[in-house]
Amino acid sequence: MKVTTAVQSYVEHKRRSGYVFEGGKKTLEGFSSRVGDIDLCHVTTPLVSSYLEESESARVHRQIKYRILLQFFLHWSDRDVIPPLAMPAAKRAPRSTFVPYIFNRLQLRMLISSAKRCHDVRDGIDTQTIRTFILFLYGTGASSGEILCLEHKDIDLNKRTIRFRGKGAKSRVVPIGHSLAKVLGKYMRWRTRKQYLGDTVLVTRHDRPIRVATAAKHFEKLRKSCGILRQDGASYQPRVFDLKCTFAVHRISSWIKNGADLNRMLPALAAYMGQTGLGSTEKYLALTPVRFQKHLDKLSPHRRVYHWRNDAELMKFLSSLDTIRSSLPSIGTS
Protein backbone atom coordinates (compact mmCIF):
# COMPACT_ATOMS: atom_id res chain seq x y z
CA MET A 1 0.00 0.00 0.00
CA LYS A 2 1.31 3.43 -0.97
CA VAL A 3 1.64 6.18 1.66
CA THR A 4 -0.89 8.41 -0.15
CA THR A 5 -3.48 5.64 -0.26
CA ALA A 6 -2.87 4.78 3.38
CA VAL A 7 -3.35 8.41 4.42
CA GLN A 8 -6.61 8.78 2.48
CA SER A 9 -7.96 5.53 3.91
CA TYR A 10 -6.97 6.46 7.46
CA VAL A 11 -8.57 9.92 7.22
CA GLU A 12 -11.82 8.35 5.99
CA HIS A 13 -11.66 5.86 8.88
CA LYS A 14 -11.28 8.67 11.43
CA ARG A 15 -14.18 10.63 9.98
CA ARG A 16 -16.43 7.58 9.97
CA SER A 17 -15.57 7.27 13.66
CA GLY A 18 -16.94 10.75 14.28
CA TYR A 19 -13.77 12.87 14.21
CA VAL A 20 -13.44 16.04 12.13
CA PHE A 21 -9.70 15.32 11.85
CA GLU A 22 -8.77 18.37 9.77
CA GLY A 23 -5.52 18.92 11.67
CA GLY A 24 -4.63 15.24 11.44
CA LYS A 25 -5.34 15.21 7.70
CA LYS A 26 -3.04 18.20 7.19
CA THR A 27 -0.24 16.57 9.20
CA LEU A 28 -0.47 13.24 7.36
CA GLU A 29 -0.63 14.90 3.95
CA GLY A 30 2.45 16.91 4.89
CA PHE A 31 4.23 13.72 5.86
CA SER A 32 3.17 12.03 2.62
CA SER A 33 4.51 14.97 0.62
CA ARG A 34 7.78 14.88 2.55
CA VAL A 35 8.56 11.15 2.09
CA GLY A 36 7.02 10.76 -1.38
CA ASP A 37 4.50 8.19 -2.51
CA ILE A 38 6.57 5.19 -1.44
CA ASP A 39 5.28 1.89 -0.12
CA LEU A 40 4.10 2.24 3.45
CA CYS A 41 6.30 -0.67 4.51
CA HIS A 42 9.36 1.28 3.30
CA VAL A 43 8.80 4.12 5.78
CA THR A 44 11.63 4.08 8.30
CA THR A 45 12.29 5.65 11.66
CA PRO A 46 14.83 8.14 10.21
CA LEU A 47 12.25 9.30 7.65
CA VAL A 48 9.72 10.00 10.40
CA SER A 49 12.36 11.71 12.51
CA SER A 50 13.45 13.86 9.56
CA TYR A 51 9.87 15.04 8.99
CA LEU A 52 9.39 15.93 12.66
CA GLU A 53 12.75 17.68 13.01
CA GLU A 54 12.45 19.83 9.88
CA SER A 55 9.31 21.49 11.24
CA GLU A 56 9.83 25.03 12.52
CA SER A 57 6.71 24.83 14.67
CA ALA A 58 6.77 25.02 18.45
CA ARG A 59 7.61 21.89 20.42
CA VAL A 60 4.02 21.41 21.51
CA HIS A 61 2.99 21.26 17.83
CA ARG A 62 5.69 18.68 17.23
CA GLN A 63 4.16 16.58 19.99
CA ILE A 64 0.78 16.77 18.31
CA LYS A 65 2.25 15.67 14.98
CA TYR A 66 4.15 12.90 16.74
CA ARG A 67 0.93 11.49 18.27
CA ILE A 68 -0.91 11.68 14.95
CA LEU A 69 1.84 9.73 13.17
CA LEU A 70 2.09 7.23 16.02
CA GLN A 71 -1.64 6.44 15.81
CA PHE A 72 -1.42 6.29 12.01
CA PHE A 73 1.31 3.63 12.06
CA LEU A 74 -0.34 1.69 14.91
CA HIS A 75 -3.53 1.60 12.85
CA TRP A 76 -1.80 -0.12 9.94
CA SER A 77 0.43 -2.38 12.01
CA ASP A 78 -2.62 -3.62 13.95
CA ARG A 79 -4.09 -4.62 10.58
CA ASP A 80 -0.88 -6.42 9.55
CA VAL A 81 -0.31 -4.04 6.65
CA ILE A 82 3.12 -3.08 7.98
CA PRO A 83 5.35 -4.41 10.76
CA PRO A 84 5.44 -2.34 13.95
CA LEU A 85 7.46 0.84 13.35
CA ALA A 86 9.92 2.05 15.97
CA MET A 87 9.02 5.70 16.34
CA PRO A 88 11.82 8.18 17.14
CA ALA A 89 12.16 9.19 20.77
CA ALA A 90 9.42 11.59 21.79
CA LYS A 91 10.53 14.98 23.02
CA ARG A 92 8.94 16.03 26.24
CA ALA A 93 6.49 18.85 25.72
CA PRO A 94 7.03 21.93 27.87
CA ARG A 95 4.83 21.99 30.92
CA SER A 96 1.91 24.34 30.44
CA THR A 97 1.50 26.88 33.20
CA PHE A 98 -1.51 28.61 31.67
CA VAL A 99 -4.47 27.61 33.81
CA PRO A 100 -7.93 29.15 33.27
CA TYR A 101 -9.34 31.24 36.10
CA ILE A 102 -12.62 29.96 37.51
CA PHE A 103 -14.81 32.74 38.87
CA ASN A 104 -16.83 31.90 41.97
CA ARG A 105 -20.49 32.84 42.18
CA LEU A 106 -19.85 35.85 44.39
CA GLN A 107 -17.43 37.26 41.83
CA LEU A 108 -19.95 36.68 39.06
CA ARG A 109 -22.57 38.61 41.01
CA MET A 110 -20.05 41.40 41.54
CA LEU A 111 -19.33 41.61 37.80
CA ILE A 112 -23.01 41.67 36.89
CA SER A 113 -23.87 44.22 39.56
CA SER A 114 -20.89 46.46 38.77
CA ALA A 115 -21.76 46.43 35.06
CA LYS A 116 -24.81 48.56 35.92
CA ARG A 117 -22.67 51.25 37.55
CA CYS A 118 -19.60 51.16 35.30
CA HIS A 119 -20.50 53.97 32.92
CA ASP A 120 -18.14 55.92 30.69
CA VAL A 121 -19.42 57.85 27.70
CA ARG A 122 -16.06 57.42 25.95
CA ASP A 123 -16.45 53.63 25.97
CA GLY A 124 -19.13 53.63 23.30
CA ILE A 125 -20.99 50.65 24.78
CA ASP A 126 -24.04 50.89 27.05
CA THR A 127 -23.91 49.30 30.50
CA GLN A 128 -26.98 47.20 29.63
CA THR A 129 -25.08 45.71 26.72
CA ILE A 130 -22.00 44.85 28.82
CA ARG A 131 -24.18 43.26 31.50
CA THR A 132 -26.09 41.19 28.93
CA PHE A 133 -22.79 40.15 27.32
CA ILE A 134 -21.48 38.78 30.64
CA LEU A 135 -24.72 36.94 31.38
CA PHE A 136 -24.67 35.56 27.85
CA LEU A 137 -21.12 34.24 28.26
CA TYR A 138 -21.77 32.53 31.57
CA GLY A 139 -25.22 31.32 30.59
CA THR A 140 -24.18 29.51 27.40
CA GLY A 141 -20.46 28.71 27.62
CA ALA A 142 -20.09 30.16 24.12
CA SER A 143 -17.08 32.20 23.03
CA SER A 144 -17.05 35.99 22.78
CA GLY A 145 -16.85 35.77 19.01
CA GLU A 146 -19.91 33.50 18.77
CA ILE A 147 -21.98 35.81 20.97
CA LEU A 148 -20.93 39.07 19.34
CA CYS A 149 -21.83 37.66 15.90
CA LEU A 150 -25.37 36.72 16.90
CA GLU A 151 -28.16 38.31 14.91
CA HIS A 152 -31.84 38.66 15.78
CA LYS A 153 -32.77 35.74 13.53
CA ASP A 154 -30.50 33.47 15.60
CA ILE A 155 -32.52 33.90 18.79
CA ASP A 156 -35.96 32.36 19.33
CA LEU A 157 -37.25 33.46 22.73
CA ASN A 158 -40.51 31.55 22.30
CA LYS A 159 -38.69 28.23 21.90
CA ARG A 160 -35.84 29.44 24.12
CA THR A 161 -33.15 28.46 21.63
CA ILE A 162 -30.08 30.13 20.16
CA ARG A 163 -28.36 29.28 16.89
CA PHE A 164 -24.60 29.73 16.90
CA ARG A 165 -23.19 29.90 13.40
CA GLY A 166 -19.80 28.34 12.75
CA LYS A 167 -17.95 25.51 11.06
CA GLY A 168 -18.68 21.85 11.78
CA ALA A 169 -19.70 21.10 15.35
CA LYS A 170 -19.42 24.79 16.22
CA SER A 171 -22.60 25.43 14.22
CA ARG A 172 -25.40 24.40 16.54
CA VAL A 173 -28.80 25.23 18.00
CA VAL A 174 -28.88 25.08 21.79
CA PRO A 175 -31.60 25.57 24.41
CA ILE A 176 -31.26 28.25 27.07
CA GLY A 177 -32.69 28.46 30.56
CA HIS A 178 -35.69 30.55 31.56
CA SER A 179 -33.58 33.15 33.39
CA LEU A 180 -31.29 33.82 30.44
CA ALA A 181 -34.28 34.01 28.08
CA LYS A 182 -35.79 36.60 30.41
CA VAL A 183 -32.55 38.62 30.37
CA LEU A 184 -32.45 38.57 26.56
CA GLY A 185 -36.12 39.52 26.29
CA LYS A 186 -35.53 42.50 28.56
CA TYR A 187 -32.49 43.55 26.54
CA MET A 188 -34.40 43.28 23.26
CA ARG A 189 -37.14 45.57 24.58
CA TRP A 190 -34.50 48.04 25.77
CA ARG A 191 -32.90 47.95 22.30
CA THR A 192 -36.24 48.78 20.72
CA ARG A 193 -36.66 51.79 22.99
CA LYS A 194 -33.16 52.96 22.06
CA GLN A 195 -34.11 52.54 18.38
CA TYR A 196 -31.15 50.36 17.56
CA LEU A 197 -31.89 48.86 14.15
CA GLY A 198 -28.75 46.83 13.36
CA ASP A 199 -28.97 43.07 12.71
CA THR A 200 -26.39 42.23 15.38
CA VAL A 201 -27.92 41.67 18.82
CA LEU A 202 -25.18 43.28 20.94
CA VAL A 203 -24.16 46.66 19.54
CA THR A 204 -22.32 49.85 20.42
CA ARG A 205 -24.03 53.15 21.10
CA HIS A 206 -23.63 53.84 17.39
CA ASP A 207 -25.62 50.68 16.57
CA ARG A 208 -22.57 48.88 15.20
CA PRO A 209 -21.25 45.36 15.93
CA ILE A 210 -18.85 45.07 18.86
CA ARG A 211 -15.34 43.81 18.18
CA VAL A 212 -14.03 40.94 20.32
CA ALA A 213 -11.00 42.99 21.37
CA THR A 214 -13.25 45.86 22.44
CA ALA A 215 -15.43 43.57 24.55
CA ALA A 216 -12.33 42.08 26.19
CA LYS A 217 -11.06 45.57 27.02
CA HIS A 218 -14.37 46.50 28.67
CA PHE A 219 -14.38 43.28 30.65
CA GLU A 220 -10.85 43.91 31.91
CA LYS A 221 -11.86 47.37 33.11
CA LEU A 222 -14.90 45.90 34.86
CA ARG A 223 -12.87 43.12 36.48
CA LYS A 224 -10.36 45.62 37.84
CA SER A 225 -13.16 47.77 39.25
CA CYS A 226 -14.40 44.68 41.15
CA GLY A 227 -10.92 43.93 42.50
CA ILE A 228 -10.88 40.42 41.04
CA LEU A 229 -7.27 39.29 40.82
CA ARG A 230 -5.40 36.01 40.66
CA GLN A 231 -3.85 34.99 43.97
CA ASP A 232 -1.82 32.04 42.65
CA GLY A 233 1.25 33.98 41.57
CA ALA A 234 0.43 33.78 37.86
CA SER A 235 1.56 36.71 35.72
CA TYR A 236 -1.71 36.84 33.76
CA GLN A 237 -5.04 37.97 35.14
CA PRO A 238 -8.59 36.59 34.65
CA ARG A 239 -9.82 37.04 31.08
CA VAL A 240 -13.24 37.22 29.48
CA PHE A 241 -12.54 33.75 27.98
CA ASP A 242 -12.43 32.34 31.51
CA LEU A 243 -16.21 32.79 31.75
CA LYS A 244 -16.50 29.96 29.20
CA CYS A 245 -14.36 27.73 31.42
CA THR A 246 -16.34 28.83 34.47
CA PHE A 247 -19.58 27.78 32.78
CA ALA A 248 -18.20 24.28 32.17
CA VAL A 249 -16.72 23.80 35.65
CA HIS A 250 -19.88 25.01 37.39
CA ARG A 251 -21.97 22.63 35.27
CA ILE A 252 -19.77 19.68 36.14
CA SER A 253 -19.75 20.58 39.83
CA SER A 254 -23.55 20.86 39.82
CA TRP A 255 -23.94 17.49 38.10
CA ILE A 256 -21.64 15.84 40.63
CA LYS A 257 -23.68 17.29 43.50
CA ASN A 258 -26.88 15.94 41.94
CA GLY A 259 -25.40 12.51 41.24
CA ALA A 260 -25.56 12.81 37.44
CA ASP A 261 -23.66 10.35 35.24
CA LEU A 262 -20.68 12.31 33.90
CA ASN A 263 -19.98 9.61 31.31
CA ARG A 264 -23.27 10.69 29.79
CA MET A 265 -23.25 14.39 30.56
CA LEU A 266 -19.72 15.26 29.38
CA PRO A 267 -20.53 14.49 25.72
CA ALA A 268 -23.67 16.59 26.13
CA LEU A 269 -21.58 19.44 27.49
CA ALA A 270 -19.13 19.10 24.58
CA ALA A 271 -21.97 19.24 22.04
CA TYR A 272 -23.60 22.18 23.81
CA MET A 273 -20.35 24.18 23.80
CA GLY A 274 -19.56 23.31 20.18
CA GLN A 275 -16.47 21.28 21.01
CA THR A 276 -15.42 18.19 19.06
CA GLY A 277 -14.79 15.01 21.00
CA LEU A 278 -14.45 14.53 24.73
CA GLY A 279 -10.83 15.62 25.12
CA SER A 280 -11.68 19.29 24.84
CA THR A 281 -14.30 18.98 27.59
CA GLU A 282 -12.61 16.52 29.93
CA LYS A 283 -9.89 19.11 30.63
CA TYR A 284 -12.45 20.90 32.79
CA LEU A 285 -12.53 17.94 35.18
CA ALA A 286 -9.11 18.94 36.48
CA LEU A 287 -10.45 22.40 37.30
CA THR A 288 -13.34 21.21 39.47
CA PRO A 289 -13.05 21.76 43.23
CA VAL A 290 -10.82 19.26 45.04
CA ARG A 291 -13.73 18.16 47.22
CA PHE A 292 -15.23 16.44 44.16
CA GLN A 293 -12.13 14.36 43.38
CA LYS A 294 -13.49 11.18 44.95
CA HIS A 295 -16.56 11.46 42.73
CA LEU A 296 -14.41 11.91 39.64
CA ASP A 297 -12.37 8.84 40.59
CA LYS A 298 -15.55 6.75 40.37
CA LEU A 299 -15.98 7.48 36.68
CA SER A 300 -15.88 4.40 34.51
CA PRO A 301 -12.25 3.51 33.70
CA HIS A 302 -13.48 2.13 30.38
CA ARG A 303 -14.83 5.43 29.13
CA ARG A 304 -12.11 5.71 26.47
CA VAL A 305 -12.40 2.15 25.13
CA TYR A 306 -14.97 3.08 22.51
CA HIS A 307 -15.83 6.32 20.80
CA TRP A 308 -18.86 8.02 22.30
CA ARG A 309 -20.45 8.60 18.88
CA ASN A 310 -20.88 4.82 18.61
CA ASP A 311 -23.35 4.87 21.51
CA ALA A 312 -26.75 5.02 19.78
CA GLU A 313 -28.62 5.93 22.96
CA LEU A 314 -26.15 8.69 23.74
CA MET A 315 -26.41 10.15 20.24
CA LYS A 316 -30.19 10.13 20.55
CA PHE A 317 -29.76 11.97 23.83
CA LEU A 318 -27.47 14.56 22.24
CA SER A 319 -29.82 15.11 19.32
CA SER A 320 -32.46 16.36 21.75
CA LEU A 321 -30.38 18.79 23.77
CA ASP A 322 -33.56 20.35 25.09
CA THR A 323 -33.58 17.59 27.71
CA ILE A 324 -30.64 19.19 29.49
CA ARG A 325 -32.26 22.61 29.65
CA SER A 326 -33.07 22.14 33.32
CA SER A 327 -29.39 21.42 33.98
CA LEU A 328 -28.15 24.68 32.48
CA PRO A 329 -27.12 27.60 34.70
CA SER A 330 -29.92 29.51 36.36
CA ILE A 331 -28.92 33.16 36.39
CA GLY A 332 -30.74 35.83 38.31
CA THR A 333 -31.83 38.98 36.52
CA SER A 334 -31.43 41.35 39.40
pLDDT at 129: 93
pLDDT at 288: 65
pLDDT at 173: 87
pLDDT at 39: 92
pLDDT at 11: 92
pLDDT at 277: 53
Which residues, in sequence order, are bridge partners of residue 200?
A: 151
Name which of 150, 147, 144 is nearest 241 in CA terms: 144
CATH class assigned to 98-334: mainly alpha
pLDDT at 326: 39
pLDDT at 268: 77
Q: Give the model confidence (pLDDT) of 113-133 as tens digits.
A: 888 776 554 558 888 999 999
Provide the residue ranges of all domains of the chain, joining segments of one domain with +: 3-78, 98-334
Q: Which residues of the chain have pLDDT under 50?
A: 57, 121, 299-309, 314-334
pLDDT at 324: 36
pLDDT at 249: 86
The HSE-up count of residue 146 (CA atoms within 13 Å, CB side) is: 26
pLDDT at 133: 94
Q: How many CB atoms lie within 10 A of CB 161?
A: 17
pLDDT at 95: 53
